[in-house]
A and B are shown apart, each in its own frame.
Chain A
Amino acid sequence: MIDAIQKHLLQEVAGIHEVPQGAYSLRVNGSLSGKQDSENITIVKKEDKPGIDIYIRPGTRNESVHIPVLLSQTGLKELVYNDFHIGADCDVTIVAGCGIHNSGSAESEHSGIHSFYVGKNARVRYIEKHYAEGDGNGKNIMNPATVVEMEEGSHMEMETSQIKGVDSTRRTTNATLAAGATLVVHEKIMTHGDQFAETHFTVDLNGAGCGAHVVSRSVAKDRSRQSFYSDIRGNNRCSGHTECDAIIMDRASVTAIPQIVANHVDASLIHEAAIGKIAGEQLIKLMTLGLTEAEAVEAIINGFLR
């Protein structure tokens, strides 16, 4: 059903070899290749535009949904809408990811708009991986947008990573939190060559006692460029923290603009941003263990982006 290149992409973005167990939706080269519901999770293809609605029944626990997207046909451009409706009191894991193999000379582009409606007291772990490869000159472009609406007492952890091969990316994440909701975001990015990556986070802390923790770690190599923008707005009694930590190498360029806005006297907000090259003493320590300088750099970057 899927070929060797697609299997490899699937391994990279979802860590699986075959179609997943449980509920899943697999999109290959611009169309739905397969989907499966579970007792508590229903996946419905949208009629008015490309994409799917995923309905997770209230109280669903310890279940996961995989929605990988694979592109191996050069020049394909698509915009997909995926909406997640997560019922109250759920505890679920959602694994999304996009893998592009572009062996031609035309641009391949996948832009996914993911919307999460997280019900009261639900817990969601969302894992998203972006990976691209190719042996032609065609560019690989991904412009994901994520919208998160969190109801009272809900909790969401987002882990996003883009480690290799994506030539250009503009990522936006907008979240609104009701009372007692918590959002934790861990973003990992590595760019090389002439790649470009830009991320925007906007978080509105609307409910009393809600909190957000947005952490970005990135490595910029060669002549690549990265920009990080975050805007955390405390509109109630809340806590917010945004942190951008980047390793810069070669002739790369990194911009970090964390912004915090307090619109309430009990909003407690912190931002941190650090950009620097790998510390010389870290390299020397690993070299005293017998690693070459190149091996030491690799070990430090692998740890940093773990």
Chain B
Amino acid sequence: MLELKHICYSVPDGTDIIRDVSLRIDERFVAITGPNGSGKSTLAKLIAGIYQPTSGQIILDGEDITHLSVTERARRGISYAFQQPVRFKGITVKDLISLAAGKSMTVSQACDYLAEVGLCAKNYINREVDASLSGGELKRIEIAMVNARGTRLSVFDEPEAGIDLWSFNNLIQVFRGMYERTKGSILIISHQERILDIADKVIVIADGAVHACGTKAEILPRLLNVQMGCRYTKEATGA
């Protein structure tokens, strides 16, 4: 179970990016949504340890991990799929899947993870994770890496972005399969209604703060209204 207690994060020029966010994540699927620039990705990076909060605490299964490094958090069971996957010259798909799994893998083991994200494994397993792969291919490999890690908390930053020809049903199947194996929590930053639809809890972040938090039944209708009527703007301006 992950708990954020009064997390604040400011950039050096003093701008507040995250303002006093407190959250508990112990459900299977938790979705974070909200407008662009609201601080969702920053929150994911704070959880993974890439950014250090200005104040507040991060607790993982009772342990205060606020000051732990990226590596230490990864080893304690946090996985993080980047919104924009990183390219490497010379490192192959099989290398990355093996590094993610923490052990050397046979071709067929690595292929299983690729097949699950809809990649024809034979075509990809020995390819370099470089500029020759498309954005959508990289996103799938990113998801396969988190799947291979199989940790108790997996954080995905907009996993559906760039995956055009692959139906969301498959992506959702990957998440369900991941849960069956890890019995951990899966935190997904997403704008997609069909991903929000499988969430046990939906958190709406706006302007660096938790704007709403609840079950999908409570949150989804409000979100849809917001999108249609632009109620955020009306609420924010008091109109």
Taking beta carbons and an 8 Å cutoff, which residues of A are in contact with B? 217, 245, 279, 281-282, 284-293, 299-300, 302-306
- Encode contact with A along B168-194: 1 for CB under 8 Å, 0 otherwise: 000000000000000000000000000
Q: Does B104 contact A (CB under 8 A)?
A: no
| B86 with A281: CB separation less than 8 A | yes
Contact with A300, one of B78, B82, B88, B92 (Cβ below 8 angstroms): B88
In the complex, A279→B84 CA distance in Å? 14
Nearest CB on A from B93, distance (A): 12
| A303 with B74: CB separation less than 8 A | no
Contact with A282, one of B88, B95, B100, B128 (Cβ below 8 angstroms): B88
Q: Does B149 contact A (CB under 8 A)?
A: yes
Provide the residues of chain B in CB contact with A288, threshold 8 Å: 48, 50, 70, 74, 78-80
Contact with A299, one of B50, B69, B82, B91 (Cβ below 8 angstroms): B91
Residue of B nearest to A305 (CB): B90
In the complex, A271→B16 CA distance in Å? 45
| A289 with B88: CB separation less than 8 A | no
| A306 with B90: CB separation less than 8 A | yes
In the complex, A28→B120 CA distance in Å? 49
**Chain B interface size, under 10 / 10 to 19 / 20 to 34 / 35 or more:** 20 to 34
| A300 with B91: CB separation less than 8 A | yes
Nearest CB on A from B198, distance (A): 24
Taking beta carbons and an 8 Å cutoff, which residues of B are in contact with A? 48, 50, 69-71, 74-75, 78-80, 82, 85-86, 88-92, 95-96, 99-100, 102, 128, 145, 149
Provide the residues of chain A in CB contact with B86, threshold 8 Å: 279, 281-282, 284-285
Q: Show 27 residue pairs from A and B whose CB-CB distance is below 8 angstroms, ordered by the A residue.
A: A217-B89, A245-B89, A279-B86, A281-B86, A282-B88, A284-B50, A284-B70, A285-B85, A285-B86, A287-B69, A288-B80, A289-B145, A289-B149, A290-B71, A290-B74, A290-B75, A290-B102, A290-B149, A291-B71, A291-B99, A292-B71, A293-B71, A299-B91, A300-B88, A303-B88, A303-B95, A303-B128
Residue of A nearest to B148 (CB): A289
In the complex, A1→B35 CA distance in Å? 74
Provide the residues of chain A in CB contact with B82, threshold 8 Å: 285
Nearest CB on B from A90, distance (A): 29
Nearest CB on A from B155, distance (A): 9
Provide the residues of chain A in CB contact with B102, threshold 8 Å: 289-290
Provide the residues of chain A in CB contact with B89, threshold 8 Å: 217, 245, 303-304
In the complex, A286→B145 CA distance in Å? 11
In the complex, A169→B212 CA distance in Å? 65
Nearest CB on B from A284, distance (A): 6
In the complex, A284→B85 CA distance in Å? 11
Most-contacted residue by chain B among A282, A284, A291, A293 (CB, 10 A) = A284
| B50 with A286: CB separation less than 8 A | no
| B99 with A299: CB separation less than 8 A | yes
In the complex, A245→B128 CA distance in Å? 16
Nearest CB on B from A294, distance (A): 10
Nearest CB on B from A273, distance (A): 15
Provide the residues of chain A in CB contact with B85, threshold 8 Å: 285
Nearest CB on B from A30, distance (A): 37
Most-contacted residue by chain B among A217, A281, A287 (CB, 10 A) = A287
